[in-house]
A = this chain, B = another copy of it.
Amino acid sequence: MSKVRSMRDAVADLVHDGDVVAIEGFTHLICFAAGHEIIRQRKRDLTLARLTPDLIYDQMVAAGTARKLVFSWLGNPGVGGLHAIRRRVEDAVPAGEDPAPLELEEYSHFGMVGRYTAGASNLPFFPLRSYFETDLPKANPLIRPIRSPFGDETVYAVPPLKPDVTVVHAQRADAHGNTQMWGLLGCQKEAAFAAKRVIVVVEDLVDEMVIRADPNRTVIPGLIVDAVVVEPFGAHPSYVQGAYDRDNHFYRDWDAIAREAVTTQAWLEEWVYGVSGRAEYVEKLGADRVSSLRPSGEAPSGSVDYGVYR
């Protein structure tokens, strides 16, 4: 049975007010298309989880969808801060400009990866060698010491994170949701297995036989996928290995846009509320911008042989 849905339907049915939502992807494969649809559908009171909230959550926070962030690094990589989020966090900023203060729950990268891993594995905690002699366990009481039953060593533990919905962007999937990706993998697999519901967004919908030709490349099995959305260029201004480049100009532009609430809202009006979906966004972006982001050539992986065994 095909799980292919429109982004509108997938978000409407699978993302609910108050949900814990993870749109994962470490710089690579960040699904802005899903984030924008969540904004358009005016979802509220979401807890947004990501290692690096990135522009996607800065936009979602600015649009008022979120009440809380769970994260490990809050910045615009290589550029600076995430101003919309900072406005709802820093004391110095005059109140009233944006909605209520944003709750923060903060880990390190490995702590977040461990949380998803515990969630995916149905473990009550994940142990790691981090946090020793830092102020992080004081700032976040969910980072707790745990004593090894072998020897008397103590390490730290983080609790499982089980999102209500995880959104994963990928190069390709079949209609059942069997999903393959290459390039940086981040912790999408763990975040997907940890989630109650999974939305996969792909550049290309492929025949099941394409997936079955290379089963070791499958990162997420259809078994855990609730909807497959086909949304080319759906990761822009993030990128898709082999398909398009990171739009570094936009990452820099956002720094200026997000510095003021008014310019931020104007941008949201124009680029999110003002379009019906990703197809219109891409059209608005223009063919030149799109083609300027294409790789300059192909770098084929080559093929390996699994062999026929009859």
Contact = CB atoms under 8 A, between A and B. Distances in A.
Contacts of A252: none
A130 B146 CA distance: 19
Nearest to A182: B216
Interface in A242-271: 242-243, 245
A149 to B, nearest CB: 4
A147 to B, nearest CB: 8
A304 B300 contact: yes
Contact of A125 (B148, B298, B300, B309): B148
Interface string A209-242: 0100110110000000000000000000000011
Interface of A is mostly: loop
A303 B216 CA distance: 13
A13 interface: no
Contacts of A287: none
A290 B125 CA distance: 49
Interface string A174-217: 00000010110100000000000000000000000010011011
A153 interface: yes
A213 B302 contact: yes
A122 B307 CA distance: 37
Contact of A297 (B216, B245, B299, B307): B307
Contact of A124 (B150, B159, B183): B150
A298 to B, nearest CB: 5
A302 B122 contact: no
Contacts of A171: 304
A144 interface: yes
A183 B300 contact: no
A18 interface: no
A303 B306 contact: no
A301 B304 contact: yes
Q: Name the 5 nearest CB pairs between A and B, nearest first.
A: A295-B307, A297-B308, A124-B148, A214-B301, A144-B149
Given A125-B149, A213-B302, 6 more contacts: A125-B127, A171-B304, A183-B306, A185-B216, A295-B309, A298-B307
